[in-house]
Structure 1
Amino acid sequence: MALDPTLLSILACPQDKGPLLLVDDELLYNPRLRRAYPIEDGIPVLLVDEARDVAEDEHLALLARAESAPQQ
């Protein structure tokens, strides 16, 4: 289930209030803090305690995946 583009445009990181990148409809990513927020059953889980830290190699891979995704 894809996230609605309008919803995606208003979602923000709960930690720094900045924009998030959608990665393959499976997570929302904050590249500034290197934090990944899961999407469960099409619903973004934007809770700081549910986010996970991302290492350098995964950070680069997530950025590449987000940039290669078709824009809606």
Structure 2
Amino acid sequence: MALSPDLLSILACPEDKGPLYHLEAEDLLYNPRLTRAYAVRDGIPVMLIDEATTVDAEEHERLMALVEAGSISPTFSAS
């Protein structure tokens, strides 16, 4: 299930308050600054720090390649 654009535009990492990448095919929101992934379950983002997954360097590279290949924009522009 896709997340609404309105919801995506306000989602931020609960830890560093920065933007995330929504990888719909992976059912996750990704913070490359902290290498932290937040699951999306049944169309609901699980934005709990304790339930986030820290990814290793190889997984980070894979996720960022998906971001680049899909021209995925962050949830908002950090200014």
User: For residues 9-58 of structure 1, what are the alpha-carbon distances to aligned partners after superposition, in whole Å with 9 as ceiling and x for unaligned?
Assistant: 10000000000001125000000000000000000000000001110010
TM-score (norm 1): 0.90
TM-score (norm 2): 0.82
Alignment of 1:1-72 (within 5 A): 1-25=1-25, 26-69=27-70
User: For the residues of structure 2 that align with 1:40 and 1:69, how far apart are their CA atoms?
Assistant: 21
Q: CA RMSD in A?
A: 1.6
SS at match of 2:9: helix
SS at match of 1:29: strand
The sequence identity of aligned pairs, in percent, is 58
- Could you tell me which runs of 5 or more consecutive residues in structure 1 were left unpaired when the two chains were aligned: none
